[in-house]
């Protein structure tokens, strides 16, 4: 039984292919301005890795911001459910999911079998999401993947007051012009973001195990800061944290096949 899940996010599109409850391939591409084309490219990449053709995929579930534009999907499912199912697949002890994607942050309370019990969203602004870090990495002239490790070198994190991406970028540039250490600026940014994420999570109640997903889960600085704000340990999945929603969608596609 082969199924697929396609998660079309604002920045990246992910496809996961599963067979009988096991992941056999996944692929990630940039979404760009054509979500259906991104979905097709991501699917083609995953199929190539699995040495499969699209005709061998029994069912596909789509999710994400652009998930309703996926022409080859049989069904669209809420990203909240897909994230919960995917997180439960990787870490069955999960009770809270913190997902920080390109633009949105989601806090989800998870029950048995990955059911969604309650949730809170912050999708009003890109500040705190992956796009925010893209902008700041460019302003700081450092690689995106280096933001986490560099922040861990800081001894005196600086306070970043701005809540808006545009204003935060201006604030960072001002700090650089004042001769402030880059690692202290990065640590301040990570702490500021983690503080906002923590406020969202507290609204649903912090229950362990807490699992962080999404591209920002690759930033160890945010994870460490969030652990401090919440007072609990944060787990990450033993895979690319960006594919959790796609994996959940694929598992739901398998369920569709079983019930058909």
Percent of the chain with pLDDT over 70: 96
Tell me what pLDDT residue 173 has: 85
What CATH homologous superfamily does 93-236 map to? ATPase, nucleotide binding domain (3.30.420.40)
| Per-residue buried b or exposed e for 84-105, using 16+ beta carbons within 10 Å of the residue's own CB | bbbbbbbbeebbbbbbbbbbbb
Instruction: Give yes or no for residue 49 having a pLDDT over 70.
Output: yes
**Of 102, 55, 259, 32, nearest in space to 43 by CA:** 55
- Pick the more confident residue, 168 or 213: 213
Q: What is the pLDDT of residue 176?
A: 87
Facing residues of 62 across strands? 6, 76
Q: Is the dihedral of CA 64, 14, 169, 182 positive or negative?
A: positive
Q: Lowest-pLDDT range, 112-121, 125-134, 200-209, 219-228?
A: 125-134
Does 93-236 match 1-91+240-260 at the fold level?
Answer: yes
**Structure confidence at residue 44 as a pLDDT band (50, 70, 90):** very high
Per-residue pLDDT at 17: 98
Sign, CA dihedral 172-176-179-185, equals: positive
pLDDT grade for 129, boundaries at 50, 70 and 90: confident
Mean pLDDT of 91-114: 94
pLDDT at 165: 64
Average per-residue pLDDT in the chain? 93
pLDDT > 70? residue 124: no
Q: Would you state the structure tokens that stand for residue 230, as one six-digit string?
A: 């919440």
Amino acid 24: pLDDT: 98
User: Do the Cβ atoms of 187 and 157 come closer than 8 Å?
Assistant: yes
Answer yes or no: is pLDDT of 125 > 70. Answer: no
pLDDT above 60: residue 56: yes
Does domain 1-91+240-260 match CATH 3.30.420.40? yes
Q: What is the dihedral of CA 163, 143, 26, 68, to 10 degrees?
A: 30
3-state secondary structure the chain: CEEEEEEECCCEEEEEEEECCEEEEEEEEECCCCHHHHHHHHHHHHHHHHCCCHHHCCEEEEECCCHHHCCCCCEECCHHHHHHHHHHHHCCCCCEEEEECCCCEEEEEECHHHCEEEEEEECCCCCCCHHHHHHHHHHHCCCHHHHHHHHCCCCCCCCCCCCCHHHHHHHHHHHHHCCCCHHHHHHHHHHHHHHHHHHHHHCCCCCCCEEEECHHHHCHHHHHHHHHHHCCCEEECCCCHHHHHHHHHHHHHHHHHHHC
For residue 170, pLDDT over 70 is answered with: yes
Separation between Cα atoms, residue 172 and residue 228, nearest integer Å: 23
Contact 245, 127 (CB under 8 A): no
Task: Tell whether the model's pLDDT for residue 154 goes beyond 60.
Answer: yes
Q: Structure pTM?
A: 0.93
pLDDT number for residue 159: 84
pLDDT at 98 exceeding the cut of 90 = yes
The mean pLDDT value for 4-10 works out to 96
Least confident of 14-23, 52-61, 144-153: 144-153
How far does Cα 236 stand from its chain's mean position?
11
Is pLDDT at 211 greater than 60 in this prediction?
Answer: yes
Q: Across residues 142-156, what is the average pLDDT?
A: 93
Both tokens of 13, joined, read 């599109």
User: Tell me, what's the pLDDT at 166?
Assistant: 67
Q: Where are the domains of the chain?
A: 1-91+240-260, 93-236
Please tell me the predicted confidence (pLDDT) of residue 164: 67
Is the preceding omega at residue 51 within 30 degrees of 0, hence cis?
Answer: no
């Amino acid at each position: 039984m082969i199924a697929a899940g396609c998660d079309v996010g604002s920045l990246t599109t992910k496809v996961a292919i599963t067979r009988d409850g096991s992941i056999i391939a996944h692929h990630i591409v940039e979404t760009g301005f054509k979500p259906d084309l991104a979905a097709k490219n991501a699917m083609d990449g995953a199929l190539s890795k699995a040495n499969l053709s699209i005709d061998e995929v029994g069912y596909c579930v789509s999710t994400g911001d652009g998930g309703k534009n996926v022409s080859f999907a049989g069904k669209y499912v809420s990203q909240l459910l897909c994230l919960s199912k995917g997180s439960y697949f990787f870490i069955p002890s999960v009770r809270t999911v913190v997902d920080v994607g390109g633009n949105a942050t989601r806090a989800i309370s998870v029950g048995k079998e990955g059911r969604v019990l309650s949730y809170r969203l912050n999708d009003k602004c890109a500040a705190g999401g992956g796009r925010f870090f893209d902008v700041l990495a460019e302003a700081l002239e450092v690689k995106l993947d280096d933001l986490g490790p560099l922040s861990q070198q800081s001894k005196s994190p600086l306070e970043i007051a701005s809540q808006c991406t545009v204003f935060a970028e201006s604030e960072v540039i001002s700090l650089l012009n004042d001769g402030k250490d880059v690692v202290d600026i990065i640590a301040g940014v990570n702490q500021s973001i983690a503080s906002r994420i923590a406020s969202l999570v507290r609204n649903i109640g912090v229950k362990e195990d807490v699992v962080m997903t999404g591209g920002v889960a690759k930033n160890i600085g945010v994870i460490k800061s969030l652990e401090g704000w919440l007072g609990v340990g944060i787990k990450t999945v033993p895979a690319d944290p960006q594919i959790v929603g796609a994996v959940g969608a694929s598992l739901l596609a398998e369920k569709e096949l079983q019930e058909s």
